[in-house]
Structure 1
């Protein structure tokens, strides 16, 4: 079985090497070529894979459809990105970069190479270094750390549509009124996810008292490891942020500065450990339970039956009130 898997992997790798393109696909290059022949003036590249990028592409499509303007929409992957020379389409007037700004100076080179306007949307702090004062006049970046890219794109295309009106002179809306409220709820959800907006429950998190654990590697017993934790089923993407705040709370409560975030993963519990204290190594605990990681960030998997057994053994050591602090985040 292992030999068969390896042969398949090698064959796939050889195919990709022969093609030499990966995510820069033949289909995308052909679409660009056809767009050049048809003198398509608008091109929208959206971050792939990204929900915010996909929604932004939808808004770009709706905007151009309302105005009966041809627009080519293509996914842009950082794995094997499209190159500036691929996108130099004759007659191209405008390129949108949705939920990304591209590699360094990508927008500048694209604007100069095609003599087109480039408009980029992003919300990540990491792209701020790309925004300088020497960009070409036709390059505009909309970067707001407090607003998701999809929200910024929605507001941009909606306001543009109102300013330009529809061809018959009536003010058009990007979305139907009955859909607009639902879309705003979706955008709010994506914005909370993209910007990692969250808050912990007001009540105290439950305490986890690992009275004793034994390392399989060195058989060292480390008693009285305490930390605070919460259940985060459905919010596992926030495990890092929640764990770090719990670490600070745990230290303030006089406990070990370790926060635990627990959530279901394939019928088992995954426990993520985080610490904001450089002198604390969470991986010691994770390794003892078959997991691993770094000093400040580690995790391990524990079966539900093992966890329930662990709870029953430790229940006598806690008050009933403490057991009720098992919070669902």
Structure 2
């Protein structure tokens, strides 16, 4: 379902209503907003942080504005001590994109009172209640909520189409991404979407997510000025290979412990027996050990498995 809300009503809210005591903010973000005001930068992009879909969406906004030489300020937006509406009451800002998030209830609506246009992208069903009724939405506020497509894919399509529609001298057509990396990038988006929508249908999706997760600490474009170049280099096959290696190493470590399984009588046998293993100092392998013990317990005709640490049962898993 794609939801785009555009109405033709305008309600004026005095800017003074947005001002208040400012709590802690990222000084770097505030400084960037101050410089944007001095330089009269009209385009503002806020992306969900630390979200991969948000970061890739910001990448596509960056590519679009770069291709057309349009000045643009891109900032991460975190739900932890987030930037507030009054932080954006700076001279020169005209268009604001909220990528992979809707923001607190009323956030986008308030931005639309002093921005020429506010455009929102998200894919989460939980965002739907935050969207104001059509009759309360001004014509310069647009919500693009597609619960069947990840935000990064929607934003990629949006800016690709928007760029293709631009009339350039000599009939030149600019592409958002170069042909040599397009297929690789779109495969990354496909895997990300599988995780964002909780489909888990693609082969090796678990390994992909494990490999991708190491990038999470690098998704702040303020502290990592090379973020967008790095995102363009990400390859799904490399991430899957890293994920598989990680999974394999954990399973190998768990297997060494599983060679020392023993039977445990529960309640002096009243509750039956299970296989156990001493996993002292290896609690981080509980998932791998628990699953393997369940399988072995079932094969031995036992109903549950146990992981032991210092003679205490940590995990009991029924094998039906």
Distance change (3 Å), C-alpha of 1:265 and 1:90? farther
Instruction: Give the corresponding residue for 2:163.
Output: 161
Which secondary structure does the structure 2 equivalent of 1:164 belong to? coil
Distance change (3 Å), C-alpha of 1:82 and 1:169? farther
Distance change (3 Å), C-alpha of 1:264 and 1:72? same
Q: CA deviation at 1:302?
A: 6.2
Q: Map Cα deviations across residues 251-294 of structure 1 (whole Å, 9 max, x no partner).
A: xxxxxxxxxxxx8896459xxxxxxxxxxxxxxxxxxx9xxxxx
Q: CA deviation at 1:172?
A: 0.7
Q: CA deviation at 1:109?
A: 0.5
Instruction: Give the corresponding residue for 1:182.
Output: 184
Q: CA deviation at 1:164?
A: 1.4
Instruction: Give the corresponding residue for 1:322.
Output: none
Distance change (3 Å), C-alpha of 1:59 and 1:233? closer
Q: Map Cα deviations across residues 147-168 of structure 1 (whole Å, 9 max, x no partner).
A: 0000000000000001114466
Which ranges in structure 1 are unaligned for 5 or more consecutive residues?
Answer: 1-18, 202-231, 238-262, 270-288, 290-299, 319-329
Corresponding position: 1:315 with 2:299: yes
| Structure 2 CA distance for aligned equivalents of residues 303 and 77 of structure 1 | 33
Which secondary structure does the structure 2 equivalent of 1:107 belong to? helix
* Aligned equivalent of 2:193, options 191, 194, 215: 191
* Residues 191 and 202, structure 2, Cα contact 8 Å, conserved in 1: no
Instruction: Give the corresponding residue for 2:41.
Output: 40
* Residues 110 and 116, structure 1, Cα contact 8 Å, conserved in 2: no
Q: CA deviation at 1:310?
A: 7.0
Instruction: Give the corresponding residue for 2:140.
Output: 138
Q: TM-score, normalised by structure 1?
A: 0.58
| Structure 1 CA distance for aligned equivalents of residues 248 and 48 of structure 2 | 29
* Residues 67 and 167, structure 1, Cα contact 8 Å, conserved in 2: no
Instruction: Give the corresponding residue for 1:234.
Output: 207
| Structure 2 CA distance for aligned equivalents of residues 99 and 236 of structure 1 | 18
Q: TM-score, normalised by structure 2?
A: 0.60
Distance change (3 Å), C-alpha of 1:176 and 1:233? closer
Instruction: Give the corresponding residue for 2:128.
Output: 128
Q: CA deviation at 1:316?
A: 4.1
Q: CA deviation at 1:80?
A: 0.7
How many residue pairs align between the two structures?
A: 216
| Structure 2 CA distance for aligned equivalents of residues 191 and 49 of structure 1 | 16
* Residues 95 and 115, structure 2, Cα contact 8 Å, conserved in 1: no
Instruction: Give the corresponding residue for 1:241.
Output: none
Instruction: Give the corresponding residue for 1:62.
Output: 63
| Structure 1 CA distance for aligned equivalents of residues 56 and 156 of structure 2 | 9
* Residues 165 and 172, structure 1, Cα contact 8 Å, conserved in 2: no
Q: CA deviation at 1:98?
A: 0.5
Q: CA deviation at 1:136?
A: 1.3
- Give RMSD over aligned pairs: 3.4
Which secondary structure does the structure 2 equivalent of 1:100 belong to? coil
Which secondary structure does the structure 2 equivalent of 1:141 belong to? strand
| Structure 2 CA distance for aligned equivalents of residues 302 and 115 of structure 1 | 49
Please identify, of 307-316 and 58-67, the stretch whose mean Cα deviation from structure 2 is larger.
307-316
Q: Map Cα deviations across residues 31-69 of structure 1 (whole Å, 9 max, x no partner).
A: 000000100000000000000000000000000001000
The higher-RCO structure (CA 8 Å, 6+ apart) is: 2
Instruction: Give the corresponding residue for 1:26.
Output: 27
* Residues 97 and 121, structure 1, Cα contact 8 Å, conserved in 2: yes
Question: Aligned ranges for residues 249-268 of structure 1 at < 5 Å?
Answer: 267-268=253-254
| Structure 2 CA distance for aligned equivalents of residues 100 and 111 of structure 1 | 16
| Structure 1 CA distance for aligned equivalents of residues 194 and 291 of structure 2 | 31
